[in-house]
Structure 1
Amino acid sequence: MTRAGLPADRRELVTRLLARKAAAAAVPVLPRTGEPLECSHEQRRIWLAGQAAPESAPPNVTLGLAVTGELDLPRLAAALGGLVSRHEALRTRYAAPDGLPHQVVRPAQPVPLELVDLTCLPGPDREPEALELARAAAGERFDPARGPLLRLTVYRLGPAEHRLLLACHHIACDGAGVALVAADLAALYAGEELPPPPVPQYADYAAWSVRRAAERAPRRLPYWRERLKGLEPLFPRLPAATSPSPADGGRSSAAASVRVERALVDRLRGDARTGGGPVTPFAALLAAYLVVLHGLTGRRDLVVGTVTSGRARRELEPVVGCFINLVPLRVSLDGLTGFPALLARVRETVAGALANEVPFDTLVSGLGGHRLPGVHPSFQAAFVLRADPAPPPGWAGLRARVWEHEVDDAGFDLGLTATPRGGAYELTLTGRLARFAPAELAALAGRLAAVVRDPAGDPASLGYSGKEIE
């Protein structure tokens, strides 16, 4: 019987019980006394990585927008100030008096808005210069102890042509968060009345998530100890870290991109019908990536890291902050016959990892063992499937579109990012220049596209026969 079919007094009782249960499960709001607040596991991992080895810290989160029309800079600066007032994570600083970081929420302060006027350059096409400057600006690091952790750069190409680059420290924002930031910035610029600031804010989530992880970790860590037992690094250890070569323009990494049609990815997913169930685009592209990694390394025991989001609860959807967690996916290629069998194994691996997810720093400390300097714990290759980027509406009559650029920064030895673009996926491989030359990355991107088009392709070039992985 549904709740509607119950007598009135029973319906009221059920409603109260459900409301009580929801209130008990809700993220509690902490008092703001000015005292330091607990960091989430995600923030702690990012902060510690930056302290131990700045080059291994996650890159900044960025979003580029191309804006056409009469851009009002004072109005944009006011909107930026309103944005920081609205989201605590954008005005939080980090202190570590006891060796571990804590959050200190500060009053709103001015945020850098820099105008780079390129109209003095000759010629009508100033876009390449703006892209080059944006790539450099996107990689400029923030100081989480001093702040601010957000900046906006405006590149003026002409009287009615501007390019905007939003950059934010990863400790304060993730990919979904920067989309929220852009949407709120557009609405504030347009003079729209936004709803009240979200409650809870990120610091509330941080404390709640740490408590929840502590309850789950004892039950889930045994899975990971067994799953990652005997794990060996995918790539040989790099020599001691050196400064980027001047020949590489001071860069530490490079990227290469290819596009494949969505229909090809859907065909890969269809290949799993004989393997026991439906396969997501994530699993299909991950399987293709594993084929390339197998051909590259000759390894049959492969581990690829991915990211998940803790923003699954409804009250956290409008909250800006870092909700991502790193999850290792270990896939053995032994005994597989054909690509559908690989897809099925990937699907099972992903399901098991998500069912036993724990914060990545908890996983690493729970596994114990000796950490190798210069080797990322648990995995050196990563894969992320992003959402289809779209410019926020609004902007008070201005026309806005996503302004594409690649941030030349790598958090891992080799990373694959898949981004849907209309009827295609853009596949971008980013690798450390200490490990891969740009030409090698371009060749690997070509191999990846070939696997997506035909997973039973040439075994000499792909390291996979389509019949058996050897």
Structure 2
Amino acid sequence: MPGITSQYLDRYRRLTAGDGTGALLPVTGAQRRFVLVRSLDPSGRPDLVPMFFAFPHGTVDPARLRTAARRLAARHTALRSRPTVVRGTPVLSVGEPDVPVTRPVPAPGERPADALRRALASWDAQGPPLRLFLVHDEERREDILAVVLDHAVCDGRSLARIVEDLGAAYAEDATEVAREETEAERVAYRDAVLGQLAAEERADTPDAAAHWADRLRAVRARAELPRPQGVPDGALPTGAARASLPARDDRVPFPALLDACRAAARALHGPGHVVPLGYPWGGRPAGAEPVVGCFLNTVVFPADTGQDPAPEATADAWWDDLDHADAPFDAVVTAVRATGSGWTGGLDGLLTVDDDNRRPPLRLGGVEGREVHVDGRPVRAPFAVSVTQGAEIRLRMVWDRAVLADDTARRAFDALTGALRRPHTP
């Protein structure tokens, strides 16, 4: 029987046969996962990737910003394409480069962060995948610019390119992007996606299915947690904790980060569980143009909360996983369920890792924005950990207060930071 990727490509080719407009583009396995997750959410809520920057008040010209954002979308097909499903087939529908710049006004008693959270909560999934929000912070005499993307069109590796290109477009005097440039990028984007799908098709093998079926056999449908009494009135739906650790010359190896997340999972669930944690991995296919898009696959780490394995054991298992990391997420879930597992692909934790050197600041008109956080936004798992390595190691953990009580989550965060303070094996 053909693999999931082969079946998808066959459906896509039949759907677009005879269509010379190029208005419907294929999606990667990573994008299929986001479309699936959205379809299973009763509210249809998309996953959003926001970046927030504070500028001195009055230094951002909204009209110039909107023109720059339109040029940005004209140059990157993914930023003007809406994820949709046509006759049961997930696709991207290419549209015009329309990027709204909305200026939410805080209600009486609201802070600027409240206005931004309210704006993001009202996100219409049928609208443009890239939107900008500009909110005035009267107390700090700043304007907070939110650059927000639908995660189904953009992965974390694209963010630096978007920030850099938005700043460059803001500095330009031209108002329109040549149609030839737009069309050339659309072709490059389509070729990159087809190259990614070809790689996923090659990776969707019986050997990969057997690896993931064995590796994730013990994962449960969703590890049970004692439910909190409820989110207190007036509290944000998610909590957050942060810490900074001294940087190390050799950086923290990825297996050590996985073991630290295992420690957090043990603090939450106790020993004797295998908790599914997801992390993005991968890149653009070999030879593809460095297009903006969603290419990073979600790889699952089975965090066994029993005794800590030797660091070498985690590293060896992780390297074995990477040999099969191109297998699309939906194929992995199918392979695990074929063993009789009740796991449907839900993740009990998420891990993302970034490098300070890969996050250029946003400069608009020669003014550098200060990147800030807006907490309290929804999280797609009980908890999510982000690690930024650079001059220091910055840790941030957010959690769903409907699932985790604050004191329980903070114990898990303490376990996470404690594990990373210990010496690690390179």
Give TM-score, length-normalised by structure 2: 0.80
The question of 1:347 aligning with 2:328 is answered no
Partners of 2:399 and 2:36 in 1: CA distance = 22
Q: Which structure 2 segments of 5+ residues have no match?
A: 1-16
The equivalences for 1:110-189 within 5 A come to 110-116=98-104, 129-143=111-125, 146-157=126-137, 161-189=142-170
1:65 aligned partner, one-letter code: F
* CA separation of 1:238 and 1:326: change in aligned 2, threshold 3 A: farther
Partner deviation per Cα, 1:131-176 (whole Å, 9 max, x = no partner): 2322343444341xx3211110111236973210011111111222
Distance in 2 between the 1:387 and 1:282 partners? 13
**Within 5 A, what are the aligned runs for 1:365-380?**
365-369=334-338, 372=342, 377=345, 379-380=347-348
Match of 1:423 among 345, 366, 391: 391
In 1: Cα distance, 2:71 partner to 2:377 partner: 30
Alpha-carbon contact 1:391-1:402 (below 8 Å) kept:
no
Residue 285 (structure 1) aligns with = 257
Are residues 54 and 141 of structure 1, via their aligned partners in 2, closer, same or farther at CA, if it must alter by over 3 Å? farther
Following superposition of structure 1 onto structure 2, how do residues 292-331 of structure 1 map, counting pairs within 5 Å?
292-296=264-268, 297-299=270-272, 301-311=274-284, 313=286, 315-317=288-290, 319-330=291-302
Give the counterpart of 2:64 among 59, 67, 75. Answer: 75
Q: 1:376: Cα distance to partner?
A: 5.4
Matched letter for residue 107 of structure 1: E
Q: Structure 1 454/176 Cα, relative in aligned 2: closer, same or farther at 3 Å?
A: closer
Q: Give the Cα separation in 2 of the matches to 1:246 and 1:292.
A: 22
8 Å CA contact retained: 2:196, 2:295: no
Q: Which residue of 1 aligns with 2:416?
A: 448
TM-score, length of structure 1 as denominator length: 0.73
Residue 360 (structure 1) shift? 0.4
Which one-letter code corresponds to 2:208 in the other structure? R
Residue identity over aligned pairs, in percent, reads 23
Tell me by how many angstroms 1:121 deviates: 8.4
- The residue type equivalent to 2:79 in the other structure is L
Give the alignment partner of residue 254 of structure 1, picking from 232, 239, 249.
239
Amino acid at match of 2:278: G
Matched residue, 1:64: 52
Q: CA deviation at 1:221?
A: 1.6
Q: Show the counterpart of 2:38.
A: 50
Matched, 1:91 2:80: yes
Letter in 1 for 2:116: A
**CA offsets 1:298-351 (integer angstroms, 9 cap, x no match):** 12645422111323646442x121112111123557776xxxx53212211221
- Look up the SS of the partner of 2:241 in the other structure: strand
**Residue 206 (structure 1) aligns with:** 193
Q: Using the alignment, how far apart are the partners of 1:387 and 1:81 within structure 2? A: 28
Distance 1:85 1:207, change over 3 A: same
For residues 97 and 368 of structure 1, what CA distance do their matches in structure 2 show? 27
How far does the alpha carbon of each residue in 1:18-64 deviate from its partner, in whole angstroms, 9 at most, with x for none?
xxxxxxxxxxxx99624533222222221121112257966300111
Post-superposition CA distance 1:252-291 (Å, at most 9, x none): 433222222224xx6xx8xxxxxxxxx8532222212212
CA distance in 2, matches of 1:413, 1:376: 16
Q: Counterparts of 1:257 and 1:207 in 2: how far apart (Å)? A: 39
**Change in 2 beyond 3 A, CA 1:301/1:366:** closer
Report how far residue 393 of structure 1 moved: 5.5
For residue 235 of structure 1, the aligned residue among 223, 226, 230 is 223
Q: Give the secondary structure class of the aligned counterpart of 1:229.
A: coil
Q: Which amino acid aligns with 2:64?
A: R
Change (3 A) 1:137 1:130: same
The answer to whether the 8 A contact 1:111-1:150 is kept is yes
Distance in 1, matches of 2:306 and 2:187, equals: 47
State the one-letter code of the partner of 1:151: R
Is the CA contact 1:46–1:57 (under 8 Å) kept in the aligned structure 2? Answer: no
One-letter identity of the residue aligned with 1:431: W
Evaluate the alpha carbon distance shift between residue 365 and residue 55 of structure 1 in structure 2; reply closer, same or farther with a 3 A threshold.
farther
Distance in 2, Cα, partners of 1:314 & 1:75: 35
Q: For structure 1, which runs of at least 5 residues remain unmatched after alignment?
A: 1-29, 123-127, 270-278, 457-470
Superposition RMSD in Å: 3.5
Change (3 A) 1:377 1:71: closer
- Distance across 2 between alignment mates of 1:226 and 1:140: 41
Instruction: Give aligned pairs, total.
Output: 393
CA contact (8 A) 1:91 1:107 kept: yes
Q: Structure 1 residues 298, 98: closer, same or farther in 2, change over 3 A?
A: same
Residue by residue over 1:421-450, the C-alpha shift from the partner in whole angstroms, topping out at 9 and shown as x without a partner, is x53222222222232112322232123222
CA contact (8 A) 1:371 1:377 kept: no
